[in-house]
Each structure stands twice: as structure tokens, then as C-alpha cells.
Amino acid sequence: MGELNVVINGVEFRTRHNDYRLAMPAFDKTYNGQVDIPFPDVPPEVLSKATIEEQIAEMKLWFKGQ
């Protein structure tokens, strides 16, 4: 997500550094330990498509949940 500058009801809001890490608690004894959340593999139905455009269209359906 990029930076955002908006004015709502005359009040200006600015955001920066919106690249938050996706982390979960570590399963060891470190205090406040965190590990990155593993990303899932690309579904085989997407990888089986012949072109990038077809893969994009199929992946959009996966995000829609259809």
C-alpha cells in the first residue's frame, strides 16, 4: 500500500510506511518472538494455465472465492 494523504472534515491525515510485516508468534521461548507468516503455494489450477493473462484471470477467481 502506498502513502496516503487525505483531508476529512477539514482534518489532514498522512500515512507512511504502510508495508507491515505479516508475522505470527514464534513457537519458541524467545520473549515477544515473531516469525513471518508463510505464504501459500500458487494453486495448481492457476499454474496449469498456458498464458500469464489466463493465470491472472484464474487467480482473480480464487481471490473472489468463486
Domain limits for position 18? 4-64
Domain total in the chain: 1
Answering whether pTM is above 0.75, one says: no
Q: How does pLDDT run across 20-62, given as a tens digit for each residue?
A: 778 899 988 888 899 999 989 999 999 999 999 999 999 999 9
Give the confidence band of 14 by pLDDT, cuts at 50, 70, 90. Answer: confident
- Residue 10 Rama label (left phi>0; alpha psi -120 to 50; beta): left
pLDDT band at 13 (very low <50, low <70, confident <90, very high): confident
Residue 7 pLDDT > 80: yes
Residue 66 pLDDT greater than 70, yes or no:
no
CB 4 within 8 A of CB 18: yes
